Amino acid sequence: MKTLIVMPARNEAQTIGAVIARLKALVPDADILVINDASTDNTAEVAEKTGAKVVNLPINLGYGGAVQTGFKYAARHDYDAIVLMDADGQHDPACVPDLLKALQDADFVLGSRFLGECHYKVPIARRIGMWLFGKIVNWVTGQKITDPTSGFQALRKEVVKFLAEDNYPVDFPDADVLILLHRSGFRIKEIPVIMHERQHGVSMHSHLKAVYYVFKMSLSILATLTRSVRRSS
């Protein structure tokens, strides 16, 4: 199975080298692609030196834009399976083989810190958002999802090609993507993973950004529920 690991990264030079090194030891047959989202440090240089492929974005597109860039690359190069994970060390590379294995009976696999291990305290604003969006996803899909905001995922190429089109949110792609995939007929599965506390840098969900996230995600979910869904064959 031709596999690509996609890591969006902005100013993650202090952590990305160790993450890539562990991935190369654990999943040596997988290609690793870093989407350097206009970093102002030497993230790209560290990633290339450690053995990853790097796409350098000329401007900061944000998380959603960086991820979709990775999806477009994967679709163009016809990868069978894609793992999406962070470059900051929060997502444990040891869980990647489990995510890939779970694709045997699913199209989209979501890693849950609440089914597995979470080695840090989730901020209260984000915890409220996770609870709220989890309830909405469970109601829409009829499936219990414990960690709708997890960015630790594995996807079949059919899902990647679908999201590489104009179907992927450019801001905070989380619960809205789960609802979109369910409405489009894709099979979703959740498995336990291990997540660690960020050691360096600033989370995109920190402080007032967490409140903004809840507001924007609410609007995105509403738009996803009301839009017409077209899945190409």
Exposed (0-12), middle (13-18) or buried (19+): which is 93, by Cβ within 10 Å? Answer: buried
Instruction: Supply the mean pLDDT for the chain.
Output: 88
> Hey, what amino acid is at 141?
T
> Hey, what amino acid is at 84?
L
Higher pLDDT, 190 or 217: 190
Are 82 and 160 in contact by the 8 Å Cβ rule? The answer is: yes
Starting at the edge strand found earlier in the chain, the sheet holding 81-84 runs 53-57, 31-37, 3-9, 81-84, 153-156, 108-119, 188-196
- Give tens-digit pLDDT for 129-162: 778 888 888 998 999 999 988 899 999 999 999 9
Percent pLDDT > 70 in the chain is: 82
pLDDT at 19: 97
Mean pLDDT, residues 61-71 taken together: 93
Select from 3.40.50.300, 3.40.390.10, 3.90.550.10, 3.40.190.290 the CATH code of 3-226. Answer: 3.90.550.10
pLDDT at 205 over 90: no
- Looking from the CA of 137 toward its CB, the CA atoms found within 13 Å total 27
Q: Where are the domains of the chain?
A: 3-226
- Give tens-digit pLDDT for 148-201: 888 999 999 999 999 998 767 666 668 888 989 998 999 999 999 999 987 665
Are 19 and 5 in contact by the 8 Å Cβ rule? The answer is: no
What is the model's pTM? 0.86
pLDDT band at 128 (very low <50, low <70, confident <90, very high): confident
